[in-house]
Amino acid sequence: MSNNSHLNIVILAAGQGTRMKSSLPKVLHTLAGLPLVQHVINTSKKLKPEIINVVYGHGGEQVQQQINDPDINWVLQAEQLGTGHAVDQVTDQLKNEQLVLILYGDVPLIKNETLIKLLDQAKDGFSLLTMNLDNPQGYGRIVRNTNGLVENITEEKDASEEIKEIKEVNTGILAVKASLLKGWLSQLDNSNAQKEYYLTDVIAMAVKDNFTVHTTQPDNEYEVMGVNNRLQLSELERYYQQEQANKLMTDGITLADPTRIDIRGEIIHGQDISIDINTVFEGNVSIGNNVSIGANCVIKNSKIADGVVILPMSILDNASVGKGSKVGPFARLRPGAVLSENTHIGNFVEIKKSFIGLGSKVNHLTYVGDSLVGKNVNIGAGTITCNYDGANKHQTIIEDNVFIGSATQLVAPVKIGKNVTIGAGSTITMDVADDELVTTRVKQKSIRGWKRPVKNKK
Ligand code: UD1
Ligand code: CA
């Protein structure tokens, strides 16, 4: 195990990201629902560093506001004069005993395991993360001597034809002792094709000072791929999603199609779960055993207990579904919907901030909001809890074994006692005592021989 108590992480995020063609700073564009730079911050935190610095430039305030993390030390690079110049802005934050790890706000999928390997190799001075590419175009090339030791990094724009042939490239990610880095940064100049202060120039300095520059490579190319435009962003999103899907399947979940699931957060789950196509998971979702989730659902920050069936086209947002319940198709569970065991919530039913008791059924075209519903209640089609008076929300209480006829309005605040039966089409404005039958509709009237109006002749 590496000891990271002296780790200083520097995340470069000052670039403008012109090719995104966006008013949003590049590092705030999202991958799997999180800003790019947030992925890098999350991975950084797993290493338990002493400090995380984020070097910002363009759209800096917006980035700080959005990320809003007191653990980050924000460092301004007012002018983008190169990667070496960017790291130099952090010099004041570098303590001699620290190991510095350089990461990039637009390289979101770097893995913890890869960084641990890199840090282990940096103990005697310097280590670089490199990669072999069939098409190395655009990258800095790793130039090695006849003994195979790293000699320098040459940027594409400064490279001879011979050097351009080299397939091993610089990913930009590196780890170096702070004491050494500080000395080398102060010697950087910008006498190169781009008139930039290249961080990569410190490699040749290290070699000159007789340090061996170690190299290590990531297991997957996508770990070091950066986002410069929206095409690359979508490519990385797919790598990320593919990996999530593979993990779910390895862990015992059946996916109808692993290319048609999106996970923007985390799923905690049991076994024997099957998930049909096109479902989106957001935030923290937990799923018990023997659960089936139909096609085209959106499930966000919700709990789904054992044996639940979620039918297609259902939306769950901060909801909890009890054991053996059945939801959908076309159901919408909004924040605070808590379903007890063996409930049925059917099509075009919306439940908000309400508890639905054991075995109760709300099967068709209904709105239940701010309500407490007891056990074995049957709520007929087209029932509405009128919870809003235009200014305030009010509660509806429906006790055990109530039967509500279709097209009923319950004008809250109102309480329906145990075993009550409400006739179809009623508008209930007053509390109803236990065991009563209540109806409010006008008695049916008939007019014999009724003639419908006819159109006037012109
Ligand atoms: C850099 C490397 C190159 C490597 C490539 C990998 C140098 C000189 N070159 O080249 O060897 O193959 O990355 O992608 O380091 N940034 C700042 N401030 C600046 C300049 C850049 O914060 O003044 C940030 C950018 O936001 C970006 C990163 O640093 O996240 C890399 O900058 P970029 O200009 O894209 O470097 P490359 O030319 O691609
Ligand atoms: Ca780049």
Residue 453 inside a domain? The answer is no
Per the annotation, the verdict on 58 as an active-site residue is no
Same domain, 193 and 331: no
By CB atoms closer than 10 A (0-12, 13-18, 19+), residue 25 is: buried
Asked if residue 85 is part of any domain, the answer here is yes
Residue 57 Cα: closest atom of ligand 1: 22
Please indicate, yes or no, whether residues 129 and 255 belong to a single structural domain of this protein: no
88/415 Cα distance (integer angstroms): 68
Residues near 374 by Cβ (< 8 Å), separated by ≥ 6?
357, 360, 398, 399, 400, 401, 402, 418
State the distance from the centre of ligand 1 to the C-alpha of 26, rounded, in angstroms.
14
Residue nearest to atom 11 of ligand 1 (CA): 140
Residues 268, 409, single domain; the answer is yes
pLDDT in tens for each of the 458 residues of the chain? 444 669 999 999 998 789 999 999 999 999 999 999 999 999 999 999 999 999 999 678 899 999 999 999 999 999 999 999 999 999 999 999 999 999 999 999 999 999 999 999 998 899 999 999 999 999 999 999 999 999 999 999 999 999 999 999 999 999 999 999 999 999 999 999 999 999 999 999 999 999 999 999 999 999 999 999 999 999 999 999 999 999 999 999 999 999 999 999 999 999 999 999 999 999 999 999 999 999 999 999 999 999 999 999 999 999 999 999 999 999 999 999 999 999 999 999 999 999 999 999 999 999 999 999 999 999 999 999 999 999 999 999 999 999 999 999 999 999 999 999 999 999 999 999 999 999 998 889 999 999 999 999 98
Q: Is residue 456 part of a domain?
A: no
Look at residues 162, 189, 224 and tell me which one is the last residue of a structural domain: 224
209: which 2 tokens? Answer: 């000072």
Cα–Cα distance, 236 to 221 (Å, whole number):
10
Dist CA 223 CA 221 (whole Å): 5
Q: What pLDDT score does 59 carry?
A: 73
Inside any domain, residue 457 = no
Q: Are residues 298 and 389 in the same domain?
A: yes
Q: Is 228 in the pocket of ligand 1 (CB under 6 A)?
A: no
Q: Is residue 37 within 6 Å of ligand 1 at its C-beta?
A: no
Report yes or no on 455 lying in a domain.
Answer: no
Q: Which of 185, 207, 224 is the last residue of a domain?
A: 224
Q: Which two three-digit tokens encode residue 291?
A: 């659960």
pLDDT score at 2? 47
- Based on the domain organization, do 182 and 321 belong to the same domain? no
140 lines ligand 1 (CB under 6 A): yes
Q: Has residue 315 been placed in a domain?
A: yes
**Same structural domain, 169 and 255:** no
End-to-end CA distance of the chain: 95
Which one of 170, 193, 224 terminates a domain? 224
14 lines ligand 1 (CB under 6 A): yes
Overall number of domains in the chain: 2
- Residue 318 falls inside a structural domain: yes
**DSSP 8-state class, residue 28:** G
Ligand 2 centroid – CA 114 distance (Å): 20
**Do residues 359 and 283 both lie within one domain?**
yes
How is 46-105 classified by DSSP, letter by letter? HT--SEEEEEEBTBHHHHHHHH--TTEEEEE-SS---HHHHHHTTGGG--TT-EEEEEET
Whether residue 184 has its Cβ less than 6 Å from ligand 1 = no
Q: Is 244 exposed, middle or buried (0-12, 13-18, 19+ CB in 10 A)?
A: buried
Ligand nearest to the CA of 16: 1
Atom of ligand 1 nearest to the CA of 26: 26
The answer to whether residues 104 and 209 belong to one domain is: yes
Mutate to test the pocket of ligand 1, among 19, 53, 58, 83 (most ligand atoms within 8 A of CB): 83
Residues 244 and 167 reside in one and the same domain: no
Confirm if 394 and 387 have CB atoms less than 8 A apart: yes
The Cα 246–Cα 263 span in angstroms is 12
Question: Does residue 246 share a domain with residue 167?
Answer: no
Domain that holds residue 337: 230-448
The CATH number of the domain where 76 resides is what? 3.90.550.10
Q: What pTM, to 2 d.p., does this model score?
A: 0.93
The CA distance from 187 to 196, in Å, is: 13
Cβ of residue 56 lying under 6 Å from some atom of ligand 1: no
- Output the domain CATH number for residue 347: 2.160.10.10
268 and 363 share a domain? yes
* pLDDT for position 15: 85
- How many angstroms is it from 46 CA to the middle of ligand 1? 24
Ligand located closest to 169 CA: 1
